[in-house]
Structure 1
Amino acid sequence: MIRIYVLLAWTWTRAAAQYPVSFALMTAGGFVVSGLDAAVIWVIFANTTSLAGFGLPEVLFLYGVSGLAFAISDLLFSNVDRVSQHIRAGTFDVFLIRPVSSFVQVAVDRFTPHRIGRTLQGAAVLGVALSRLDVPLARAWMIPVMVACGIVIFTAVFALGGAAQILLTDAPEVANAFTYGGAMLTQYPLSVYGESVVRGVTFILPLAFVNWQPGLYVLGREDPLGLPYWVRFLSPAAALALALAAALAWRAGIRRYRSTGS
């Protein structure tokens, strides 16, 4: 399936490359537009020295990890958000009769390579943050783990949203509240939100394991909620659990799908 995904993605990329100026402008546009979120952080710190007890480099670090993980997931799998469009158009049936995973087909359909601009922006912010932080090598190993687990968690949220659209037919806004809304939520230290929100994204929808809990370990900070120290190392377990839940939800949605008949 990975090979098929890569081949299809490469096909769409070659098609986009036929219009190099448009591709370059859209990539640059994605970099600039997503950079506005980082600019907001700079504006905030132009008027204060800390945000919920975190300095500018620390907030940029949390933003960079979350932004990079979400951007990669958005680049590779966000087209799952278009499930309801396929269902309404009657084209979702085509994905079900092919001998390839329906999830892979939906995810790579109309692959948009210019979203790489957002990925580059997230990586740039993370690089700037790390250059201004003194992260010990003994804790630096967690950073790639954070990004990898973040990609899995955000992809699982996309899959859960897609499964919901299969059942509800027209619920992209509900799904977006958890996908893009979750990405916005994790751009800042979770301690700026209420305790109930932090517990919700820790124990219900584990977005806290994208960058918050492991980030506390990397930065050597105490958990404002006083959770046990070992919770900071649960990102792989949280990502695996959410991925399994998303896989089951997608399968359940496919089993309950009823063709439009068109």
Structure 2
Amino acid sequence: MSLRAFRVAWRITRLNFRAQLEYRSEFLMMIAIGAVWQVSVIVFATVLLTRFTGMGGWQSADVLLIAAIRMLAHGLFVLFLGRVHGIGQHIQEGVIDTYLVRPMPVYRQLQLRVFPTNAIGDLTVAAGLMAGALSRSDLDWNAGRITYLIVCVLGGMLLEASLFTVVACASLRFPAADYWGRWLEELLGTFGSYPLNVLPKAVGGFLTFGLPLAFVAYFPAAVLTGHGGDSGVPYWLAAVSPLLGAVAYLGSRVLWRWSLRHYTGVNG
């Protein structure tokens, strides 16, 4: 993105944010909805810390780190790249067709169409969870480990964005494929906060090599906490999770451009 394009995007984002502030009650309600939507994670963390000493050979603080990385990566995805989720409705309504005639990339228009107020609630919960995980951890959080943690969160954000972008690509041809995004969101929320070694091997294998949710938070947390050697994959593969997230996102954008070139409109 050029500097001029960045300035335009920033100006649109500011206008969208100010538009949301025009309705203060709704603005605050959307923030609350974003936080309440993650109540299951809060309950999970509370039960884990008060009832159990660990899970699957992981200490409770280490498990909490998995949930914190996933939540923070998800919150950033919702804030920066999440409008690609739910594209099916825009396709069915013919909105995408209007995007095609505007002098701005369609993907960028999707991301700029509204400010995601609920992301503020998501990130508030995620930041609190991360603060709790770091305060309970016995690890030495030196500059190298903190840098790797930040990179892992960004990699998790990009990996989640790549998965939803692939769903969006499918929706350009089959709008009903948008329901796969809801299924994907459920899988992330259900399995993304647990050590995969507590699941059956077939399920863990699917969430690693079929639908690579393990690379969002589980493998990064395993490397950070010293469980990388028994994570179910070679240590080097777990360690490069952030890089895989970046590569997956770039690949999904290439697929998006190809899919958009073959988009034939809502009526086929």
TM-score normalised by length of structure 2: 0.88
**Of residues 194, 219, 222 in structure 2, which corresponds to 1:216?**
222
Task: Describe the shift of the 1:241–1:230 C-alpha distance in structure 2 as closer, same or farther (beyond 3 A).
Answer: same
Task: Describe the shift of the 1:105–1:86 C-alpha distance in structure 2 as closer, same or farther (beyond 3 A).
Answer: same
Structure 2: gaps spanning 5 or more residues:
none
Distance, in Å, in 1 between the alignment partners of 2:121 and 2:145 is 29
Are 1:155 and 2:155 counterparts?
no
Counterpart code for 2:219: Q
How many residues were matched structurally? 262
Are 1:197 and 2:176 counterparts?
no
Are 1:178 and 2:184 counterparts?
yes
| 8 A contact 1:12–1:112 mirrored in 2 | no
Distance, in Å, in 2 between the alignment partners of 1:169 and 1:103 is 16
Structure 1: gaps spanning 5 or more residues:
none
Counterpart code for 1:139: R
Q: Which residue of 1 aligns with 2:243?
A: 237
Q: Which residue of 1 aligns with 2:58?
A: 54
With 66-75 and 30-39 compared, the bigger mean Cα shift is at 30-39
**Deviations along 1:70-108, whole A, 9 cap, x unmatched?**
111022222212322122111211111111110111122
**Of residues 37, 41, 44 in structure 2, which corresponds to 1:37?**
41
Please give the residue correspondences for 1:55-204 in structure 2 after superposition, counting only pairs within 5 Å: 55-136=59-140, 137=142, 138-204=144-210
| 8 A contact 2:41–2:67 mirrored in 1 | no
Are 1:18 and 2:22 counterparts?
yes
Distance, in Å, in 2 between the alignment partners of 1:114 and 1:140 is 27
| 8 A contact 1:76–1:108 mirrored in 2 | no
With 202-211 and 89-98 compared, the bigger mean Cα shift is at 202-211
**Deviations along 1:10-61, whole A, 9 cap, x unmatched?**
2111011112233123213322331332212322554433221222211211
SS in 2 for 1:141: helix
Q: Which residue of 2 aligns with 1:252?
A: 258
TM-fit CA distance, 1:212: 1.5
Task: Describe the shift of the 1:74–1:11 C-alpha distance in structure 2 as closer, same or farther (beyond 3 A).
Answer: same
TM-score normalised by length of structure 1: 0.90
Distance, in Å, in 2 between the alignment partners of 1:202 and 1:237 is 15
**Deviations along 1:168-202, whole A, 9 cap, x unmatched?**
12222112222442243211112222222323333
TM-fit CA distance, 1:222: 4.6
Distance, in Å, in 1 between the alignment partners of 2:208 and 2:7 is 34
TM-fit CA distance, 1:145: 1.0
Distance, in Å, in 2 between the alignment partners of 1:253 and 1:184 is 30
Distance, in Å, in 2 between the alignment partners of 1:209 and 1:261 is 38
CA RMSD of aligned residues (A): 2.2
Distance, in Å, in 1 between the alignment partners of 2:7 and 2:259 is 25
TM-fit CA distance, 1:225: 4.8
With 160-169 and 229-238 compared, the bigger mean Cα shift is at 229-238
Distance, in Å, in 2 between the alignment partners of 1:247 and 1:150 is 16
Task: Describe the shift of the 1:249–1:186 C-alpha distance in structure 2 as closer, same or farther (beyond 3 A).
Answer: same
| 8 A contact 1:154–1:179 mirrored in 2 | no
Instruction: Percent identity, please.
Output: 26
